[in-house]
Amino acid sequence: MADIDPAADRLASRAPAPRLTAIIVGAGMSGLLAAIRLKREGIHSFVVLEKAEDVGGTWLHNRYPGASCDIPSHLYSYSFRPKPDWSRMFAMQPEILDYFRDTAAEEGLRAHIALRTEVSAARFEEAQGLWHVEAKDGRRWDARFLVIATGQLNKPRVPDIPGRRDFAGIQFHSAEWNEAANVEGKNVVAVGTGASAVQFVPPVADQAKRLTVIQRSPNWLVPRPDREFSRRTKAAFGLLPPLRLLLRGYIYLTNELNFHAMRHPDGIIARVMERRARKHLEEQVPDPELRRQLTPDYPIGCKRILIASDYYPALMRDNVDLESDAVARVHQTGVELESGKRIPAEIIIWGTGFDTASFVAPIEVTGRNGQRLVEVWRDGAQGYKGTLVSGFPNMAVLYGPNTNLGHNSIIFMAERQMDYVMKIIRHVLGKDLRFVDVREEVEDRWNEALQRRLGRTVWAAGCDSWYKHDGKIINNWSSSTLRFAWELRSFDERRFEVAGWPLPAGQELTA
């Protein structure tokens, strides 16, 4: 695989910094999408700056055993880059990562991507209408547009539990899997029971001497309708695109229907989903005490609904224990629960999620009048249409505030965002403008309406989740994905402050 591409490296080290049309930060699903869209629309003057050693974002980092996507692959792929030969309904991480690697290569993006390049700061220069971007190692770039595509789930969070640093064994976060740590024949403790844990618990249970799963709160879990595609089916998808499109459309619409459960927690879809989850639990877990421990006390959809058919059976193995308690402290040789019970461990796996509140941080982003994004977002991140931020002109945040979903493919959302961003870029370049900046009152009004809608969803009350920060839902989109597409369908200049270029000295207009 290509290392830092020589062309991108040349681009990166030229001094003074060359003026580009766009800088994209991040080469995950959204960053690659942004690059493809620019290229396909004839814009070649851009660079993608990526901190990691390869493209793929979340699919590069989350390499834990069993990692996979809980959206079927025929939908969790770009609309314009179908892959008829997905090996199974829910592809595993290596196949998804290969899809993004192949995309980068086949779309000719490698020449634009500077790997191992961690952006530390971005500052908007109003007079020049330019974004100045700086990497940690001191390299700099200038561009008319800045597209931040760093994701919402990129900062692994390990709770600050007393004694954690005294642990004498091996400990790591699920998104930073220690491939050298062999769980075979070991006493392993896994903390957390979210979407990551339900995937790595079964393969770890297969190998560990003893695995103790520590659950703070149970989750609603439904079966995973996974299956391998036969050679014949894959060939049919290749030869008959309408067949593949039919499957994609079917997956999209059935997922879309699930939003009803989040919008109407007492409605029919929510009831059907809860019944399905309870039936799954009853069928897989005969022990009433274990079943009780695994039954959530909040409405379905409030936390992410988990999809797994091998998690409950793994919990019932003789070498696996479920502890419904919190970790009070970590000792040299294991963990101690709030109840005082001690569990010996040689390996601790933290499946404890991500810092999802800080979005683009630690990148120090400075907009007009020296405003720092971290200050603007002090009371919770917000954007206009989840994509723009007032005071930060010619800048877009893909998978930004209030764009996460609990029910459908995030690639659909990112594609709608890039449709919208391309409209803005074309508008600014086409009219030879210096910048466009969404008006503050427009952004505020949009967010008031958004928060009103969110207040009526299942996420607002009933449980705590990573979707909320200090009680405000800042991660999730409020409605159906179709509504998101509708909201981002056009660029309306009246909602923006529009700046042209100052006329050269001596040519001021006179009345």
Using CA atoms, how far apart are residues 43 and 20, in angstroms rounded to an integer? 10
Q: Is 391 in the site for ligand NAP (CB under 6 A)?
A: no
Three-state secondary-structure class, residue 453:
helix
φ/ψ (deg, to 5) at 255: -65, -40
Q: Is 327 in the site for ligand NAP (CB under 6 A)?
A: yes
Which of 9, 70, 126, 355 forms a contact with ligand NAP (CB under 6 A)?
70
Residue 286, Cβ density class (10 Å: 0-12 exposed, 13-18 middle, ≥19 buried) = exposed
Q: CB of 195: closest distance to ligand NAP in angstroms?
A: 4
What does each C-alpha distance from 105 to 99, 102, 112, 321 come to in angstroms? 10, 5, 11, 45
Using CA atoms, how far apart are residues 506 and 493, in angstroms rounded to an integer? 29
Q: CB of 336: closest distance to ligand NAP in angstroms?
A: 13
Using CA atoms, how far apart are residues 44 and 26, in angstroms rounded to an integer? 17
Whose CA is closest to 107, among 55, 69, 61, 71?
55
Long-range contacts of 447-454 (CB under 8 A, 24+ apart): 447/382, 447/384, 450/402, 450/478, 451/478, 453/478, 453/479, 454/402, 454/478
Q: CB of 310: closest distance to ligand NAP in angstroms?
A: 13
Whose CA is closest to 478, among 459, 506, 493?
459
Q: Is 153 in the site for ligand NAP (CB under 6 A)?
A: yes
Q: CB of 249: closest distance to ligand NAP in angstroms?
A: 20
Q: For the window 448-487, what string marks contact with ligand NAP as x by the rule CB under 6 A?
A: ------------------x---------------------
Using CA atoms, how far apart are residues 481 and 405, in angstroms rounded to an integer? 8
Using CA atoms, how far apart are residues 238 and 432, in angstroms rounded to an integer? 43
Q: CB of 379: closest distance to ligand NAP in angstroms?
A: 22
Q: Is 193 in the site for ligand NAP (CB under 6 A)?
A: yes
Helix (H) or strand (E) holding 263: helix 259-263
Between 75 and 488, CB nearer to ligand NAP: 75
Between 327 and 425, CB nearer to ligand NAP: 327
Q: CB of 68: closest distance to ligand NAP in angstroms?
A: 6
Choices 14-22, 114-122, 348-356, 391-399; region in contact with ligand NAP by CB under 6 A: 348-356
Which of 33, 146, 147, 195 forms a contact with ligand NAP (CB under 6 A)?
195
Q: Is 194 in the site for ligand NAP (CB under 6 A)?
A: yes
Q: CB of 216: closest distance to ligand NAP in angstroms?
A: 4
Of residues 217 through 256, those in contact with ligand NAP by CB under 6 A are 217
Label each residue of 301-320 as H, E or C: CCCCCEECCCHHHHHCCCCE
Residue 325's identity, in one-letter code, is D
Beta bridge partners of 262: none
Q: CB of 252: closest distance to ligand NAP in angstroms?
A: 16
Q: CB of 360: closest distance to ligand NAP in angstroms?
A: 18
Between 213 and 450, CB nearer to ligand NAP: 213
Between 70 and 226, CB nearer to ligand NAP: 70
Q: Is 69 in the site for ligand NAP (CB under 6 A)?
A: yes
Using CA atoms, how far apart are residues 211 and 183, in angstroms rounded to an integer? 9
Q: Is 216 in the site for ligand NAP (CB under 6 A)?
A: yes
Q: Is 352 in the site for ligand NAP (CB under 6 A)?
A: yes
Q: CB of 128: closest distance to ligand NAP in angstroms?
A: 39
Choices 24-32, 41-49, 190-198, 314-322; region in contact with ligand NAP by CB under 6 A: 190-198
Using CA atoms, how far apart are residues 314 and 159, in angstroms rounded to an integer? 25
Of residues 290 through 319, those in contact with ligand NAP by CB under 6 A are 303-304
Which of 55, 122, 191, 335 forms a contact with ligand NAP (CB under 6 A)?
191
Three-state secondary-structure class, residue 163:
coil
Do residues 145 and 23 touch, judged by C-beta distance below 8 A? yes
* Sites of contact with ligand NAP (CB under 6 A): 68-70, 153, 159, 174, 191-197, 199, 216-217, 303-304, 326-327, 351-353, 466
